[in-house]
Each structure stands twice: as C-alpha cells, then as structure tokens.
Amino acid sequence: TFGLKATSSVKFDNFAAYPVEAGESRKYGTYTFNVASVAALEGAGWNVGAGEWAISDSELVYAAANTADGKAVLKNKASLSNYYAETKATTADVGGFSVVGRCSAAGDSYYKLSLDIESGLALTKTVNGTEQVLASKDITELYTEDIRILPDTEYVLRLQMYGDLIQGYLDG
C-alpha cells in the first residue's frame, strides 16, 4: 500500500506509482484528483483517513484541523514491494506533506518521506507505531545547499523502494 499524508493545509496535484523492477516500464497508476468529491475518490480506490479532505479544482486538498494529521492511502496495493511513489503538492505556511510506502494493512508500519516547511526533509521508518529517522536535512542544511522550502510553493516528493534500498528525492 502506498499513499499520501498531510500535516497542514496542502494541495496535491497528482500521485503516481511506478515499478522499479528491471525491464518494467508501465505505471501502476497515475492518479489525478479530477473527481467531484472525496466520496467519489474513495470509490476510485482510495481509503481516505482522518482529517478534513476535499476536492477543489481537480486537486486533493487537506485543510488542517488543529492537531489531526490527514492521511489518504491507496487500497489494494499491498503486494507491491519494489516501486517508487511520487506526488506533486503545494505547501502551506506551516506543516507539510509526505509520501508513504510499504504501508502495513494496520497502517502502523511504513516508510515515509516528509517535507515540512519548518523542520526540513526526513526519511523515516515506522514499525508498530514507533518512528525511526533514517536520514534528514533540517532547514539550515537545505539552505546551505541552495534549497529553499517556501510557503505556497509546489514540490515533488519521490520515495523509492527496491529491496533493502530506500531512497527519497525532493524535486528530482
């Protein structure tokens, strides 16, 4: 299972998943959010979790609700193991968004690549609800590499998983 997570107001333009097996070039799917409602999105194969989600101008929009983290995860993809998942989203003034992969059926074990406008970029592994940071770059480190994380800016996050190799990419 793979999907998206938001921790603040964010707009997701699209979501795509691709195999990374040698010789495979087909997509598992590119998902645009050109549906009338969140209910229609759920009917199209998404399991939309907690939070205030809406469809607006063909974008999946999460409106932050105090401390609740939003989550939208694709259903029926649990057998995939070697793939990458990618999303394009626009950040808000605070918080951020993530792309998740290899998510357990219970939703308590997964890999996550997160972009947060206040803290930076992090690749984490969560097992039975306990999160471990695998790699991270705070805002200062990103700034020294001429990478600016700014509000109301569109970013692409890509989480690639192939065997034991887990990689995260920002805009590339």
Q: State the pTM of this model.
A: 0.80
Q: pLDDT tens digits, the chain, 172 residues: what are they? A: 667 777 777 777 777 777 665 555 444 556 677 777 778 777 777 777 767 777 877 778 876 554 456 666 655 444 567 788 888 888 777 678 888 888 877 778 888 898 888 888 999 999 998 999 999 998 888 878 878 888 888 888 888 888 888 999 988 6
pLDDT given at position 76? 43
pLDDT, tens digit, for every residue of 56-82? 777 788 765 544 566 666 554 445 677
pLDDT given at position 75? 52
Token pair belonging to 110: 């997964």
Quickly list DSSP for 54-91: EEETTEEEEE-BTTBPEEEEESS-TT--SEEEEEEEE-
Q: What is the 3-state secondary structure (H, E, C) of 102-142?
A: CCCCCCCCEEEEEEECCCEEEEEEEECCEEEEEEEEEHHHH
CA nearest neighbour of 63 among 73, 53, 76: 53
Q: Is 106 buried (19+), middle (13-18) or exposed (0-12) by CB count in 10 A?
A: exposed
Rounded Cα–Cα distance for residues 153 and 104 (Å): 31
The 3-state DSSP class for residue 40 equals helix
